[in-house]
Structure 1
C-alpha cells in the first residue's frame, strides 16, 4: 500500500508525494491519520519564519487510528492496552532520555526532539508529519489512547494546543482565585481559558478578533478586551487594573506569537507576578521591552516550549471530563481536506478561521 504526504518544497509552496507504507519496527506504531489541525507553528514554517525548517513534511496536531503495532508495543505510555483500530494521539516530539536536558528531567527540551520531524519526505520512514494519510510514531515518542467520548477534531488538538497551555499554566503556579490575563484567543488561548477556569481563576482574554472574544466567553472568560475598543496599551492596562483592584494580574500568558504582545504583558502583571511566554517562537523577531519595569515589579518570566510528554495524557483526561462543559469543537473549522492544505494554511494565517482542521479521507 502507498500513502500520500504533503511536502513543502519552499515557504508557501506545497506538493504531494506518494510512498510505500513503512513497516512498524520494534517499539513503533503506524497510524492512519484521521484528523490533523493547523497550529501556529505551521504558519511560522509556511511563511518562512522558522529558524531551521524551510522545507519537508509539516503537521503535528493529529489523531490517528492504529493500523500496525511494532514488536513489544502492547500498551500506550499510561499502560493502557492498545490494539489495531484504536485511536491514539502522540506527542509530536521525541524524548530520547539520554541527552543532557532529558537527564535533568527537561523532556520538553530534549536535544533530539525533532530528529525525525526535521527530515525530508524521501527519507525513510517518509511519514514524519501529520499532513499526510499516515503517520509513523517512533520509539521514545509518547502516545496515548483517546477516550471514546472525545470527537476526532477535538482529540487532534490535544497533542499541542491543549497540552502546551496546560503545562504552562501549571508552571505558572496559578491558584484558585488568582487572576490570569491571556493574550490571544486563538486555539491556544481558548484552551488556556478553559484550563484556567477549571483551576478556579478569574480570566481576562485580550484579542483583536471579535468572534474569537465571543468564543472565549463560552470557554469561561470573565472579561474580554477587544484591541479595537481599547486600542492603546494605556487603555488595556487601565481595564486590567480596574478589574484587579488596582493590583494587576497574578499571571499573564502570551499566546499570540506577536513580539509586541510580550512587551505589553509586563505592564498588565502585578508585582511579584509570573509571565508565561509560549506564542513567540521565531528568533530574531524583536520588540522594545522595559527591563527596569520588570525588575522593579520583581516579575518572573518563563518561556515554555513544548511540554513534559505525560501532559498529553492529562490533556486527554481533561477533554474527556469537560467535553460537555466547553464547546471545544467550535474552535475548529472542519471544512478542509488533505488536498486543501495550502488553503487551510492561508485561511489560518489571515485569521479567517480560529483553527483549521483537516479531515484525512
Structure 2
C-alpha cells in the first residue's frame, strides 16, 4: 500500500522541485484523493512566472480530476448529496468558500476573503498536498467537491473545475441569450469553452486569435466567424471586421480570455453601444494598457470583471459536459500529456502556446 506521495513545489518564480511526503489521514469532513490528471491552466503559468499577486510559492496545481482514496469521518456524499465511496472519481473546487467573511455574507461567494486559505501552501505544512500537481490532493472540510457523472471521459471531466465553471459563471453574470452575437478574444481553454456555452445559449460567435492550432480548434468548437489577428493586424482592422459581421453595430457581448492587457482596451470597442463586456483573462495586477474613458462612457458598455465562480457552478459544468460531450471535440482540448516529473516541459510548452491545454499524469505506483 502506498504510504507517501509526490508533489510539485514552486520554490520561487520558475524554480520547481519534486518533493515526497507521507500521506495524511483525512480529518473529520475531509477527503484524501489520488490525482488522476491535473491540467496546466493559464493561471498556473502566471503563478510559475511570478505574476500572481498572492501566490509566490507553494504546491502548484488546481484544475484536476481526482479519485477518492480515503474518506474522513462523516463524509458520505458530495456537495449535491450524491453518495460517495472510495474509488469514485470527483472534481474538487480548488478554493474555499468560508460562508462567514464579508463577501460571503453578501452572497459574493466567488470573492470569499478566505478563498486561498488552503491553496498553494508550503509543502512542509501538513497535510502537505495543497495543490493538484501531485500524486495526491487533500480536500478540506467545507471545500466543495462533486462526483463525476458515470460515463463522462476522465480527460473531459478534468477541465470542469476551472475553465468551464469559470465560463458558465461569467456568462451568467453578463447574460447571453438567443440571437446575441458574442465576440471571444482568445481561443485557449477558456475561449473554447466560451464558444461552446454561447452556442448552447443560441448566440452567434466570433473568435479573435492568431495561432493556427487555436483557430482550428475554435472552428471545431463551432465558432461562426474567425478573425486571425495576423491578417487583421491592427485594433482598427479588428473593430471594423467585428462591425462588418454585426450589421455595423458591434457584438452584444464581448469576452476577454486572452489574458493580455491590450485586449481589454480593444474589447470594449468590439461591443455595441449599451452592450456587455466580460473581463476574465487579465488576472494579475501591475500590467497596464492605455484606455480611453471618454469613449467608454459614451458607449454605455457595462463591464463585468469576474474572478473564480460560485462553487456549485462546478456541478453545472459537469452536467454541461455530460450533456454535450458528443457535441464538441472536448476529447481534443487536451492536446499534450506529460508525466508529473516533466512538469517544467509542460509549463514551457504551454507558455509558448505550442499546446492548447497540457495535462499532467501522476504515477501512483511508487
Q: TM-score, normalised by structure 1?
A: 0.99
- Please tell me whether the aligned partners of residues 144 and 313 of structure 1 are also in contact (alpha carbons under 8 angstroms): yes
Aligned to 2:173: 171
Does 2:90 match 1:88?
A: yes
- Give the superposition deviation at 1:72: 1.1
Aligned to 2:316: 314
Aligned to 1:193: 195
- Give the superposition deviation at 1:334: 3.4
- Give the superposition deviation at 1:291: 0.9
Which digits, 9 at most, give the CA deviation of each residue in 1:87-118, with x for residues without a partner? 00011100111000111111111000000114
Does 2:74 match 1:76?
A: no
Q: Specify which of 100, 107, 110 is matched with residue 108 of structure 1.
A: 110
Alignment of 1:1-361 (within 5 A): 1-361=3-363
Which digits, 9 at most, give the CA deviation of each residue in 1:243-280, with x for residues without a partner? 11011111000001100000100110001101100000
- Please tell me whether the aligned partners of residues 60 and 120 of structure 2 are also in contact (alpha carbons under 8 angstroms): no
Looking at structure 2, the residues matched to 46 and 350 of structure 1 have their Cα atoms a distance apart, in angstroms, of 14
- Please tell me whether the aligned partners of residues 120 and 131 of structure 2 are also in contact (alpha carbons under 8 angstroms): no
- Please tell me whether the aligned partners of residues 5 and 127 of structure 1 are also in contact (alpha carbons under 8 angstroms): yes
Looking at structure 1, the residues matched to 262 and 182 of structure 2 have their Cα atoms a distance apart, in angstroms, of 19
- Please tell me whether the aligned partners of residues 177 and 201 of structure 1 are also in contact (alpha carbons under 8 angstroms): yes
Looking at structure 2, the residues matched to 143 and 270 of structure 1 have their Cα atoms a distance apart, in angstroms, of 39
- Give the superposition deviation at 1:150: 1.7
Looking at structure 2, the residues matched to 289 and 17 of structure 1 have their Cα atoms a distance apart, in angstroms, of 45
Looking at structure 2, the residues matched to 200 and 154 of structure 1 have their Cα atoms a distance apart, in angstroms, of 23
- Give the superposition deviation at 1:308: 0.5
Which digits, 9 at most, give the CA deviation of each residue in 1:112-151, with x for residues without a partner? 0000114211001000000000000011211000012222
Looking at structure 2, the residues matched to 17 and 360 of structure 1 have their Cα atoms a distance apart, in angstroms, of 13
- Give the superposition deviation at 1:329: 1.8
Looking at structure 1, the residues matched to 233 and 180 of structure 2 have their Cα atoms a distance apart, in angstroms, of 26
- Give the superposition deviation at 1:344: 0.4
Looking at structure 1, the residues matched to 336 and 25 of structure 2 have their Cα atoms a distance apart, in angstroms, of 30
Which digits, 9 at most, give the CA deviation of each residue in 1:69-99, with x for residues without a partner? 1111111111111100000001110011100
Looking at structure 2, the residues matched to 131 and 281 of structure 1 have their Cα atoms a distance apart, in angstroms, of 21
Looking at structure 1, the residues matched to 38 and 19 of structure 2 have their Cα atoms a distance apart, in angstroms, of 18
Which consecutive segments of 4 or more residues in structure 1 shift more than 4 A?
none
Q: Name the stretch that deviates more: 48-57 or 98-107.
A: 48-57
SS in 2 for 1:332: coil
Q: TM-score, normalised by structure 2?
A: 0.97
- Please tell me whether the aligned partners of residues 273 and 298 of structure 1 are also in contact (alpha carbons under 8 angstroms): yes
Looking at structure 1, the residues matched to 132 and 337 of structure 2 have their Cα atoms a distance apart, in angstroms, of 17
- Please tell me whether the aligned partners of residues 334 and 359 of structure 1 are also in contact (alpha carbons under 8 angstroms): no
Looking at structure 2, the residues matched to 118 and 34 of structure 1 have their Cα atoms a distance apart, in angstroms, of 19
Unaligned runs of 5+ in 2: none
- Give the superposition deviation at 1:349: 0.5
SS in 1 for 2:335: strand
Looking at structure 2, the residues matched to 334 and 208 of structure 1 have their Cα atoms a distance apart, in angstroms, of 20
Looking at structure 2, the residues matched to 257 and 78 of structure 1 have their Cα atoms a distance apart, in angstroms, of 32
- Please tell me whether the aligned partners of residues 266 and 293 of structure 1 are also in contact (alpha carbons under 8 angstroms): no
C-alpha root-mean-square deviation of aligned residues, in Å? 0.8
- Please tell me whether the aligned partners of residues 97 and 109 of structure 2 are also in contact (alpha carbons under 8 angstroms): yes
Looking at structure 1, the residues matched to 268 and 45 of structure 2 have their Cα atoms a distance apart, in angstroms, of 26
